[in-house]
Amino acid sequence: MAAEDQLDVDGMLERFRERADAVQRRPLPPVAGPERQQFLERAQLDFQDFAMIGDSAWAFVDGVLTLTIDLRPS
């Protein structure tokens, strides 16, 4: 069986979209001061990373999975 037959890229990208949604719904823990700001910054980066991968297009050619992320303004 080839890797492309075992790899569910669409499922993987859906899980990244779900993670991005989960980060947005994540409740703020009872922290204050610098720890609160660090939590908010980390959540923003997590959302950005998960959303970018979740929105990517993909190709599997000659055993290489390529994710393409279009960063051009819409």
Q: What pLDDT is stored for residue 4 in this prediction?
A: 55
Residue 74 resides in a domain: no
Question: Does the structure show a pLDDT above 50 at 1?
Answer: no
Q: What pLDDT is stored for residue 56 in this prediction?
A: 97
pTM score of the predicted model:
0.80
Domain limits for position 23? 3-68
| Residue pLDDT, tens place only, 14-43 | 999 999 999 999 888 888 889 999 999 999
Residue 29 resides in a domain: yes
Residue 54 CB contacts under 8 Å (≥ 6 apart), including other chains: 13, 14, 16, 17, 18, 19, 20
Residue 61 resides in a domain: yes
Token look-up 């979209």 returns 17
Q: What pLDDT is stored for residue 30 in this prediction?
A: 86
Question: Does the structure show a pLDDT above 70 at 3?
Answer: no
